[in-house]
Chain A
């Protein structure tokens, strides 16, 4: 029982020790030492998480640690799940980061500032799920946002785009914080206490309107953190511009905490709610799933593609969370537990494959200096291990067997399909649509990752940078190998999670359905059953593959030698790499199919030669797929703000007296209101 506090204390000590280490140490040893400390934070935090998943519980208060309220911590299985995931990702990414920093010198992630912040960021990722009071939670939440913001900014000297991305991120994450602050403050005021225990016991007495208000405010903030459409605008900006190790942490551990918050507040503290809450959540989830993956399909920037895919996967998870709320509202705790387990399993799987993918993308970026898929290609010959690891991650992301994503999407689909047992016209309409959304996003994900792998890593290099790529240093590969091992384990024996998943689900009051156990997955409800054994699928595929190879060899036993031949070039000159399909051309059919949704911008400039209008000198074609939701939703707000700012400039005339006067009048007005009010 004392394992959890000990592990948490170790993590905290290591994380805090990392700050001076990053600031003081000379550059030669900085990366290695800070990386080791961060990995230590991960291991310690992960241990605490695993212990909590194993049934351990822990709660502690430190009244003196924070002014007014004191700090409160509690760890249950739900926190444990998110801590374990974050811990594993942090540990692996920290190892990766040592290698990543080694090549960069003292710029970017290797700089003093970034190295000092990195362990702290890792620590907050682990401590946020352990917070058990509003003030503690908000403080850690904000610390997490600030540290991640600093890390996003790490490469701001190299590229101006980083600054713009950081501004977006800063604004959106703080708007989220404001909403969260408002929501939780209202909640705490109504519940008469700010510890989670007080909130939990106070939620029953609150009026439905207040409950609804609290839920909408906090859910908006949490979904924005999870990168859900339409509050996703920061995500496709910040993820590509951050150093890849940071992108991996953000995409695989930080966005998860949005889901954690949603589950914690929605189910545990508020104890569920009416159907419209969950329909709202499902609508957002479904929208992000489809819209996220569509934008990923259009992206040719590798890291942007991965960022949008995060949006999609979080959408699927939140779709599951919403369904759980819907089922719980209808009174079917068993189904709610099943679908929530599926959603949490997908969180775990997504973290594993997405951190691996971001790691591999970072390797590519490091080796070529290029993120644009259209300018890569042929990397499998020059970076075979990275290419193999990316392929493994992509297999998880496309949700096909034998990848790990398939396991959780299978469970998610099963629980949706069997959700029809819940009576009510809402479920009957929502669930088929949810199944269609999951299926469409899975299908599009297949196209997306075929594009990323096929265009980025296969065929021949399109540019000199891609041709000169070299394999990453050993530590980066080791970090990715850890994540790959995690992906493989989750894909083959999801039973490893077993009871932990059940405990996490039970922590919010749903029935554990033991969907994941031993050799595979089993869904058993009153009238339905289904099972999946990933290991069996792999064995069957391997056996079949062996049989096919052997049979082919036997059938062509008077075998001629395998010949190398030049590519078939239709008899003309050898096809150059520039003739190969690019990411943009690969995505073109999908762009046309989803024309109405994406609204791509295309224009063609034809420049005729001077002598005749009929002879063309140059044709320029531009194709851009802007984020339409962002354009429609954010542009007007930004324009309004800009206009408001312009008119507000009149107030700021430059006179110090006027500024002081504003403060004075404000104070007096406030006092007057207070007097009149009482």
Chain B
């Protein structure tokens, strides 16, 4: 019964939804129609971005209310959230992951490393930024980006 009391005392922790983010609509958004399944790919990140992505789906930011949901297989996914500079060992798996997603599909690069290799630029194990490996449709800058920025990017994809 402790949990019940906890639920009652806590109430709603999700913050009120901020206004819909600016920016032109992506072509696929229309087809998604407010439902986006997300597959995360860690292509070599320091895990800072992963923590923020987890934050974006927690009760406070609650990305799920805009229709985004994490899934376990790229076959189920519409969007690949790619983090980190793409390491040599992850380049091929990343290509395969994106190829395994059914059309229409989008790739979102999360974090500075994913956009331009960030701190790791020129590292011996780094193949390049995400856009060097797969076409990127949307980028979320930041090192790491704040959860609300990730949520805002996802909202541009879901259109809600």
Contacts and interface: CB of A to CB of B under 8 A. Distances in A.
B143 interface: no
Interface stretch (A54-62, A303-311, A429-437, A567-575): A567-575
Interface in B90-112: 90, 92-94, 96-97, 99-100, 102-103
Given A560-B103, A563-B102, A568 B75 contact: yes
Interface in A282-334: none
Interface string A562-584: 01011011111000000000000
Contact of A568 (B74, B92, B94): B74
Contacts of B92: 571
Contacts of B73: 568
A565 B99 contact: yes
A571 B103 contact: no
The DSSP consensus for interface residues of chain B is: helix
Nearest to B104: A560
A565 B93 CA distance: 15
Contact of B93 (A563, A566, A571): A571
A49 B92 CA distance: 68
B102 A571 contact: no
A563 B101 CA distance: 11
Contacts of B90: 571
Contacts of B96: 566, 569, 571
Interface string A538-571: 0000000000000000000000100101101111
A565 B103 contact: no
B75 A571 contact: no
Interface in B29-85: 73-75
Interface residues of A, number: 9
Contacts of A566: 96, 100
Contacts of A571: 90, 92-94, 96-97
Contacts of A570: 93
A571 B126 CA distance: 18
Nearest to A574: B96
A570 B103 CA distance: 18
A115 to B, nearest CB: 54
Nearest to B98: A571
A561 to B, nearest CB: 10
Contacts of B97: 571
Interface string A499-542: 00000000000000000000000000000000000000000000
Interface string A146-190: 000000000000000000000000000000000000000000000
A575 to B, nearest CB: 12
Nearest to A568: B100
Nearest to B99: A565
A628 B74 CA distance: 45
A571 B92 CA distance: 7
Nearest to B95: A571
With a 10 A CB-CB cut-off, give which of A563, A570, A571 has the most chain B CB atoms.
A571
Contacts of B99: 565
A232 to B, nearest CB: 44
A565 B100 CA distance: 7
Contacts of A569: 96
Contacts of B103: 560
A5 to B, nearest CB: 67
A572 B93 contact: yes
B100 to A, nearest CB: 5
Contacts of A565: 99-100
A566 B97 CA distance: 11
A61 B90 CA distance: 86
A571 B44 CA distance: 14
A559 to B, nearest CB: 12
Interface in A558-616: 560, 563, 565-566, 568-572
B40 to A, nearest CB: 13
A566 B93 CA distance: 13
A572 B100 CA distance: 12
A560 B103 CA distance: 9
B104 to A, nearest CB: 9
Nearest to A567: B100
A571 B100 CA distance: 9
Contacts of B75: 568
Contacts of B102: 563
Contacts of A563: 102
B110 to A, nearest CB: 18
B81 to A, nearest CB: 15
A569 B75 CA distance: 11
A570 B97 CA distance: 7
Contacts of A572: 93
A194 to B, nearest CB: 72
Nearest 6 CB-CB pairings of A with B: A571-B93, A571-B96, A568-B100, A571-B97, A568-B75, A568-B73
Interface of B: 73-75, 90, 92-94, 96-97, 99-100, 102-103
Given A570-B93, A571-B90, A571-B94, 10 more contacts: A563-B102, A565-B99, A565-B100, A566-B96, A566-B100, A568-B74, A568-B75, A571-B92, A571-B93, A572-B93
Interface of A: 560, 563, 565-566, 568-572
19 contacts: A560-B103, A563-B102, A565-B99, A565-B100, A566-B96, A566-B100, A568-B73, A568-B74, A568-B75, A568-B100, A569-B96, A570-B93, A571-B90, A571-B92, A571-B93, A571-B94, A571-B96, A571-B97, A572-B93
